[in-house]
Amino acid sequence: MKEKVVLAYSGGLDTTAIIPWLKENFDYEVICCCVDCGQGEELDGLEERALASGASKLYIEDITDDFCDNYIVPCVKAGAIYENKYLLGTSMARPGIAKALVKVAKLEGATAICHGATGKGNDQIRFELGIKALAPEIKIIAPWRMTDVWTMESRQDEIDYVHAHGIDLPFDASHSYSRDRNLWHISHEGLELEDPTVEPNYDDLLVLSVSPQKAPDKATEVTMTFEAGVPKSVNGVEMKVSNIIRTLNKLGGENGIGIVDIVENRVVGMKSRGVYETPGGTILMEAIAQLEELVLDRDIYAAKKDLGNKLAQVVYEGKWFTPLTDSIIAFVNEADKYVTGEVKFKLYKGNIIKAGTTSPYSLYSEDLASFTTGELYDHHDAEGFINLFGLSLKVRALKMQEIEKNK
């Protein structure tokens, strides 16, 4: 009986070419597994394509709600944003995909898992760290790093290889962006984006959104509610998180929200340039931040900001299944226990404009914040506070004066 390998299958040219390559070079039985994270119509026709390419079976594992509830929500609550711009759309999905691949591999009794990530990117790290954490006994095959066996160097090489194996599939060598899509975002790399001096061709590039210049001249009003940091409703309609993201994607996309052009630092050390569309995610991040600034005290707010940055780095590097990630999420869940309330804002030409925030746990006190004197604050108390708060400054200044005088 042949050994089985589970291939992380997207239906694109790379993973289609890998199917006959695995059979030819390793004599594996190839089990394809496509993990659905909400990428929509990209799943159409996958089974026929996989079987036509030589796979014995295709699994389509729908993890969309798991992705939203157990990966996106913790990152949203933490405010995890990589290098101040990237909302981790690809990074958050990879551990869930790795988990699904391991599940199928164990179900099929497979000895290996194969992925089509390149040797230059982040995804090879994310997939493999996830697999190692969940199933260290399973072998990992990464064709693009096996240059002694994987001899294809271009898209045309892959097309020629597929055709030589009698596989007639709708691929050509025409140029296109390299994209990754799920419910949270879509990323774009390649073509003019490889030159950071060149402006993106947004008219050709954008999929989920319009550019801010082409957005309506009228603002869109949105109201959201949260309970303990978890989004619960949009415009008065309660929904599960995945449907909230779908709704916000539509509203945000129509108003040019969440388009980011970034040169980021990859884990392997190089810089890469990409454009991310995250319309719903950008709104969700801004909405919870609007509520948190009303509810969280100063120390928790500061600590949470630091840990959010740390979580962004950890997730970006593929270290989801680690004690550190679990610990940060536990802290964030405790910190956001009272992040409950209603957030109103307007979407207008790429901007998210506050329109009012309310919470039963608000720490904002009009009596304290007002310029009028209230019962809770005595202006005279500030003098003693400043004297103590600035004592070290004053002592140092006096010492420096003494040293200067004695020169």
Q: Which of 178, 211, 233, 272 is catalytic?
A: 178
Whether 123 sits among the annotated catalytic residues: the reply is yes
Whether 14 sits among the annotated catalytic residues: the reply is yes
- At 181, phi and psi to the nearest 5? -130, 140
Whether 178 sits among the annotated catalytic residues: the reply is yes
Please count the CA atoms within 13 angstroms of the CA of 367 that sit on its side-chain side: 6
- Residues whose CB falls within 8 Å of the CB of residue 82, separated by 6 or more in sequence, listed in order: 88, 91, 264, 312, 313, 315, 316
Integer Cα distance of 232 and 256 in angstroms: 24
Q: Which of 10, 14, 187, 209 is catalytic?
A: 14
- Cross-strand partners of 346: 221, 353
Contact 202, 298 (CB under 8 A): no
Whether 49 sits among the annotated catalytic residues: the reply is no
Contact 92, 67 (CB under 8 A): yes
Of residues 21, 20, 29, the one with CA closest to residue 1: 29
Q: Which of 123, 187, 209, 242 is catalytic?
A: 123
Q: Is 243 exposed, middle or buried (0-12, 13-18, 19+ CB in 10 A)?
A: middle
Contact 7, 138 (CB under 8 A): no
**At CA 187, angle to CA 182 and CA 189, rounded to 5?**
145
Enzyme catalytic residues: 14, 94, 123, 178
